[in-house]
């Protein structure tokens, strides 16, 4: 491995999982850069830090495979992120290829941790604990206590001054492009029987509006044109600040930030998606009329065992209220099939909802037991072969329905943020072109389809109006101009 000009202080960050992990990696990168560490590609690094995902079994396998691959580089290998936090010492004992397993409490002193590792000092991995117990107080009282809890402290942005309005999250962008996530909050107060996330992400804590606005302005200065608001449950934003409808106030303010052309909200809980929030998301200029709704199922018996609310009729009514304001609004959701106790009648009810709901993007997941969750102890487990058959059946249906939804958009006009142009330079510099890719208002990055653009003068980072002329699965084909 080449000798590091930074004196053996070069670090590569590999991020797995969701957009919330992307923000965490950029905060880690900001802290390290502020301490003099050089960000480097994996093959040139002294330390490879893998930000792991611990959400489902496949994600955990991907995290292990990535850590094993990193160990072949000759660099020190460090596991951080959800899987590292969730398993701690157990992961360290079972994976000697990782030189250190760090938890969320280590983030504030990450530079010190890596320096100590390079100096040959052993790191004692943490023993996991239920992070919900770290803030066992009422939501409205949490903000005063949050900065005293490890993992919730905020520090200044990298590449920019400390704003007068207060402390900021240290962050450095790891990838370019005109779209970036903005983290609304950390943690979750819901107790879904299948989900382990609250136990290792902790209770719900919102970031203050002035902090988010400052970071939005900073991102705009970095060339970002679309903000994707992320959290474990965006519809809960503000409840710990004393205003459960604060998101309705924040969205127009974010949309008004100079150079930000679009704000998108991800991960709304249907039970908390109130009429005022629907109206703001569906009708505010600069806010994408896009509803990422966590339905998970639509059969009432299954939803109750999941410790969730709703039904096919209630969910259809919610979608009707959205489309009454914005007929072309985008809707996406994820669903779990094969949940303990699920019957063929439950599956038929879910099929009915998917057919009548006309969603733009659908993710189907096959249920698997997660350590420490209530559902792992449920009786009535669906046999593996039967669950797999239901998964395949629902996946085929979802693909057919979302392809039809895309085809229904042919002839409509869409506003598209150009994200790439054929022939742009290797360094990613904007270039004029006649063919490009982007996303319209109903297409979120990574999880939804794309819009293939044809037209003169396409430039990365610009919004164009285009007419949809065709579709390919969930992707649209559109021509720029009237």
Kindly tell me if the per-residue pLDDT of 470 is higher than 80: yes
pLDDT classification of 145: cutoffs 50, 70, 90: low
Assign 165 a pLDDT band (cuts: 50, 70, 90). Answer: very low
pLDDT, tens digit (0-9, with 9 covering 90-100), for 418-438: 999 986 544 445 455 689 999
Among 38-52, 158-172, 248-262, whose mean pLDDT is lowest? Answer: 158-172
Q: What is the pTM of this model?
A: 0.90
Whose CA is closest to 179, among 387, 437, 371? 437
pLDDT of residue 164: 33
- Distance between CA atoms of residues 209 and 432, nearest Å: 37
| Residue in 323, 312, 386 with CA at minimum distance from that of residue 354 | 312
* Cα–Cα nearest to 198, from 63, 64, 103, 82: 82
Q: Which residue has the higher pLDDT, 201 or 7?
A: 201
Percent of the chain whose predicted confidence (pLDDT) is above 70 = 88
For residues 294-318, average pLDDT: 97
When mean pLDDT is compared across 88-97, 281-290, 389-398, 460-469, the lowest value belongs to 88-97
Phi-psi group of 286: left, alpha or beta (phi > 0 → left; psi -120 to 50 → alpha; rest → beta)? left
DSSP-assigned states of every residue in 73-123: TSSEEEEEHHHHHHHTHHHHHH-TT-SEE--GGGGGGHHHHHHHHHTT---
Q: What is the pLDDT of residue 6?
A: 47
Q: What is the DSSP letter of 274?
A: -
The tokens for 147 are: 């900065």
Virtual torsion, Cα 435, 440, 443, 444, nearest 10 deg? 90
Q: Please state the three-class secondary structure of 383-451 as a single string.
A: CHHHHHHHHHHHHHHHHHHHHHHHHHCCCCEEEEEEEEECCCCCCCCCCCEEEEEEEECCCCCCCCCCE
Q: Which residues pair with 230 in a beta bridge?
A: 183
Which SS3 state, helix, strand or coil, does residue 473 take? coil
Say whether pLDDT at 157 is over 50.
Answer: no
pLDDT over 80 at 151, yes or no? no
Burial (CB count <10 Å: 0-12, 13-18, 19+), residue 380: exposed
Position 229 confidence tier, pLDDT thresholds 50, 70, 90: very high
pLDDT band (50, 70, 90) for residue 215? very high
| 100 and 125 Cβ atoms separated by less than 8 Å | yes
Highest mean pLDDT out of 61-65, 88-92, 161-165, 478-482: 88-92
Q: Give the pLDDT of residue 133.
A: 78
* Residue-level pLDDT at 149: 55
Which span out of 87-96, 203-212, 284-293, 364-373 was modeled with the highest average pLDDT?
A: 284-293
The answer, yes or no, to whether residue 134 has pLDDT greater than 80, is: no
Closest residue by Cα to residue 180 from 226, 213, 215: 226
Interatomic CA distance for residues 172 and 175, integer angstroms: 9
Q: Is the CA virtual torsion 136, 139, 141, 143 positive or negative? A: positive
Higher-confidence residue of 8 and 355: namely 355
Print burial letters for 173-189: b (CB count within 10 Å at least 16), e (below 16). beeebbbbbbbbbbbbb
Element (H, E) at 13: strand 10-15
Q: What are phi and psi of 189, to 5 degrees?
A: -100, -5
Banded pLDDT at 482 (limits 50, 70, 90)? low
What is the chain's mean pLDDT, rounded?
89
């Amino acid at each position: 491995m080449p000798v590091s000009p930074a004196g053996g202080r070069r670090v590569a960050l590999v991020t797995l999982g969701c957009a919330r992990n992307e923000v965490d990696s950029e905060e880690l990168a900001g802290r390290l850069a502020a301490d003099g560490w050089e960000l480097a590609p994996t093959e040139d690094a002294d330390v490879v830090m893998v930000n792991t995902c611990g959400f489902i079994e496949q994600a955990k396998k991907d995290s292990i495979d990535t850590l094993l691959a990193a160990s072949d580089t000759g660099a020190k290998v460090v596991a951080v992120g959800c899987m590292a936090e969730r398993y701690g010492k157990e992961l360290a004992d079972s994976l000697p290829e990782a030189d250190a397993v760090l938890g969320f409490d280590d983030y504030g002193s990450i530079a010190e941790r890596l320096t100590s590792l390079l100096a040959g000092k052993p790191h004692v991995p943490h023993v996991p604990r239920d992070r919900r117990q770290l803030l066992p107080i009422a939501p409205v009282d949490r903000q005063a206590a949050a900065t005293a809890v490890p993992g919730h402290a905020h520090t200044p942005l990298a590449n920019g001054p400390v704003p007068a309005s207060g402390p900021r999250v240290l962050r450095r962008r790891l990838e370019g492009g005109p779209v970036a996530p903005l983290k609304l909050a950390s943690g979750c107060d819901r107790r879904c029987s299948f989900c382990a996330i609250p136990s290792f992400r902790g209770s719900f804590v919102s970031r203050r509006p002035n902090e988010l606005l400052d970071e939005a302005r900073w991102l705009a200065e970095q060339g970002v044109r679309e903000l994707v608001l992320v959290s474990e449950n965006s519809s809960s934003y503000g409840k710990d600040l004393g205003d459960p409808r604060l998101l309705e106030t924040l969205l127009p303010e974010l949309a008004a930030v100079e150079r930000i052309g679009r704000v998108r909200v991800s991960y709304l809980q249907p039970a908390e998606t109130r009429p005022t929030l629907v109206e703001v998301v569906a009708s505010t200029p600069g806010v994408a009329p896009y509803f990422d709704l966590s339905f998970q199922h639509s059969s009432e018996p299954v939803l109750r065992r999941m410790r969730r609310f709703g039904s096919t009729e209630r969910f259809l009514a919610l979608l009707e209220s959205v489309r009454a304001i914005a007929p072309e609004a985008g809707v996406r959701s994820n669903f779990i099939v094969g949940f303990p106790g699920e019957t063929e009648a439950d599956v038929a009810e879910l099929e009915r909802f998917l057919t009548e709901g006309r969603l733009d993007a659908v993710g189907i997941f096959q249920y698997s037991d997660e350590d420490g969750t209530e559902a792992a102890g449920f009786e009535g487990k669906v046999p593996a072969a039967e669950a797999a058959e239901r998964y395949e059946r629902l996946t085929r249906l979802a693909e057919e329905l979302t392809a039809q939804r895309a085809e229904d958009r042919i002839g409509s006009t869409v506003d598209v943020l150009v994200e790439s142009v054929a022939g742009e330079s290797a360094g990613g510099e904007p270039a004029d072109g006649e063919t490009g890719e982007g996303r319209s208002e109903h297409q979120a990055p990574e999880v939804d389809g794309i819009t293939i653009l044809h037209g003169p003068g396409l430039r990365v980072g610009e919004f164009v109006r285009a007419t949809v002329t065709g579709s390919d699965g969930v992707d649209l084909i559109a021509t720029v101009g009237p």
